[in-house]
Amino acid sequence: MYLKYIEEAALQGVDIIVFPEDGLTGWMLDDKYIPTFATEVPDSDSGVSPCIDRNGSYANYLINLSCACKRNKIYAVVNIIEVAHGSDGDKIYHNTNIALNRAGVVIAKYRKINLYDEVFYKPGEHVLSTFTTDFGVTFGMFICFDVVFQSPGLDILKNTEVTDIVYSTAWFARLPFYTANSVQHGYAKLHGLNFLAAGLNDPKTGTGGSGIYLADGGILTVYITGKEESKLIIANVPKIKSRVDLSNTCQHAGADSVNSHSSDVHLFFTNTTDLSNYTVQSLDLNDLEVSETVCAKNSEFCCTFNATMKKYSPLPNYSYKLIAYSGVSAISTTKTIGLKQCALVACSEDNIASCGQRNKGFPSGIYFEHISVTGTFNTHDAVYMPSTVTYDLLPTNRYVYCRKVSGNQEEVSMYTTQKLDSLLTFGIFGRTFKYDDHTPGIITDAASRSGHISYMACLLILFCSNCLWII
């Protein structure tokens, strides 16, 4: 299947194709199969093409992929299981991305650092991965969960040559903040770079969401579906000469993508986040205008909200709440992360436990003519990105995102530029890295004191329900 997509992309003039995480094996791979699908990978500075150099212990699929890139003269980013050898000779397995150039040479390798309950893999060392192409773009590369961590998500940006990110993911949706396309767009808009995200599609488990996002905050194309299908997305990506410092600027609004595809999302499973430690204030939908300040529990951290609403039915099918949080939350069965968040969120009923749950139909009975969210944050060891989700599980781009940095403080504000009528989440998603791996709970103030102007890219959205591909 991969070889077919490489050939199809090349026939359409694509320069680089990105495949999803776990696309060759499926994310539910039994650990007994890992040795079967694992392969050695040549070092990226060795200049080795597995297609030509058969001296290594390369799996047939890696050889075939290398030959396909050589034959079709295309770059490819592929997620694989890599086997390496420890100092004692024991085999070590990594969740690894590789980049192959047009000659089939492995030019970059990245071992996933931040594993998501992947107990059979060893985390990669804190080694960043970048590569430069013959079409004049320097890419950074990482995988899935990495996007919300200091290393590599922020550290890779210290390389000022990096203007674009290639990103393989098998992302599990969890409302109100953790949906794939929302996180992808938030990262791209915050940092001002092009972001190519290829997501595995398994809607029954809530896995899916892909897109191409632009350095100006625009959404070039996005895709999510409740259908069990694979799809090749192809787009012309504008090249940027260099990234711009956005620390004291506003990222302006734009139209939502005309190339967005969201179908049968009522069949796409979404989990919910435990908001029991959040400060929650209900929004009175009978008020036309709301201006509220909501503070996190046991903290001076506060969020300011302003909203103008239009109610056109006596019984809207969602309630809305204003939430603020400064604390530590479990993000998987083995990992906790530090968070600071301000958001307006939709709830299927009028209780906090229902926030993040979706009704069968689109939000109706009310729309928001205007929303603004503002908070002041500590910049040390932290990052704050926009987070927006509509009922179709896609981000909106109908807002301005502003940052004003002064010393170790950063005022972040975002406000809408057009009405929103199917809103699930609108707010600021903050990560405070120094509290990672702490016990879940609130954080008290005492505790916190080249010639062408574009290139052609494509993504593979691969339906994979416990699949095993041999290529």
Q: What DSSP letter does each residue of 158-185 carry, written as one string?
A: GSTT--EEEEEE-PBPEETTB-HHHHHH
221 falls within a domain: yes
Mean pLDDT computed over 100-128? 97
pLDDT in tens, 89-101: 899 999 999 999 9
Domain check: are 262 and 286 in the same one? no
Q: How confident is the model at residue 470 (pLDDT cuts 50, 70, 90)?
A: very low
42 falls within a domain: yes
Identify the pLDDT of residue 30.
82
Domain check: are 177 and 217 in the same one? yes
The amino acid occupying position 83 is: V
pLDDT in tens, 181-219: 999 999 999 999 999 999 999 999 999 999 999 999 999
For residue 454, what are the β-bridge partners? 238
Domain check: are 232 and 292 in the same one? no
In three state form, how does the secondary structure of 353-367 look?
A: HHECCCCCCCCCCEE
469 falls within a domain: no
Task: Please count the CA atoms within 13 angstroms of the CA of 128 that sit on its side-chain side.
Answer: 18
Is the pTM here over 0.85, yes or no? yes
- B/e letters for 292-313, b = 16+ CB within 10 Å, e = fewer, are eebebbbbebbbbbebbbeeee
Q: What DSSP letter does each residue of 75-87 carry, written as one string?
A: EEEEEEEEEEE-T
Q: Domain limits at 219?
A: 2-266+453-463
Q: How confident is the model at residue 466 (pLDDT cuts 50, 70, 90)?
A: low
Q: In terms of C-beta density within 10 A (0-12 exposed, 13-18 middle, 19 or more buried), how is residue 62 classed? A: buried
Domain check: are 459 and 406 in the same one? no
471 falls within a domain: no
Domain check: are 258 and 316 in the same one? no
Indicate whether 307 pLDDT > 60. yes
Indicate whether 50 pLDDT > 50. yes
Indicate whether 446 pLDDT > 70. no
Tokens of 350: 């009028």
Identify the pLDDT of residue 448.
53
Cis peptide before 35 (omega within 30 of 0): no
Indicate whether 445 pLDDT > 80. no
Domain check: are 218 and 292 in the same one? no
CATH code (residue 185): 3.60.110.10
Domain check: are 204 and 315 in the same one? no
Q: How confident is the model at residue 133 (pLDDT cuts 50, 70, 90)?
A: very high
- 3-state DSSP assignment of residue 9: helix
- Measured between alpha carbons, how far is residue 121 from residues 126, 171, 426 in Å? 15, 17, 35
Mean pLDDT computed over 153-158? 98
The amino acid occupying position 164 is: D
Domain check: are 257 and 292 in the same one? no
131 falls within a domain: yes
As for how many domains the chain has, the answer is 2
Q: In terms of C-beta density within 10 A (0-12 exposed, 13-18 middle, 19 or more buried), how is residue 360 classed? A: exposed
468 falls within a domain: no
pLDDT in tens, 105-115: 999 999 999 99
Mean pLDDT computed over 263-281? 96
Question: Which carries the bigger pLDDT value, residue 85 or residue 254?
Answer: 85
Q: Cα separation of 138 and 134, whole Å?
A: 10
- Kindly report the average pLDDT of the chain as a whole number: 94
- Measured between alpha carbons, how far is residue 135 from residues 9, 17, 131, 425, 453 in Å? 16, 14, 12, 38, 9
- 3-state DSSP assignment of residue 91: strand
Domain check: are 195 and 174 in the same one? yes
Identify the pLDDT of residue 419.
96
Indicate whether 140 pLDDT > 70. yes
pLDDT in tens, 51-86: 999 787 999 999 999 999 999 999 999 999 999 998
Identify the pLDDT of residue 33.
87
432 falls within a domain: yes
Q: How confident is the model at residue 384 (pLDDT cuts 50, 70, 90)?
A: very high
Question: Which carries the bigger pLDDT value, residue 229 or residue 452?
Answer: 229
Domain check: are 156 and 250 in the same one? yes
Domain check: are 279 and 302 in the same one? yes
Domain check: are 233 and 305 in the same one? no
CA dihedral in degrees (230, 234, 238, 244; nearest 10)?
0
Task: Please count the CA atoms within 13 angstroms of the CA of 187 that sit on its side-chain side.
Answer: 34
249 falls within a domain: yes
Indicate whether 469 pLDDT > 50. no
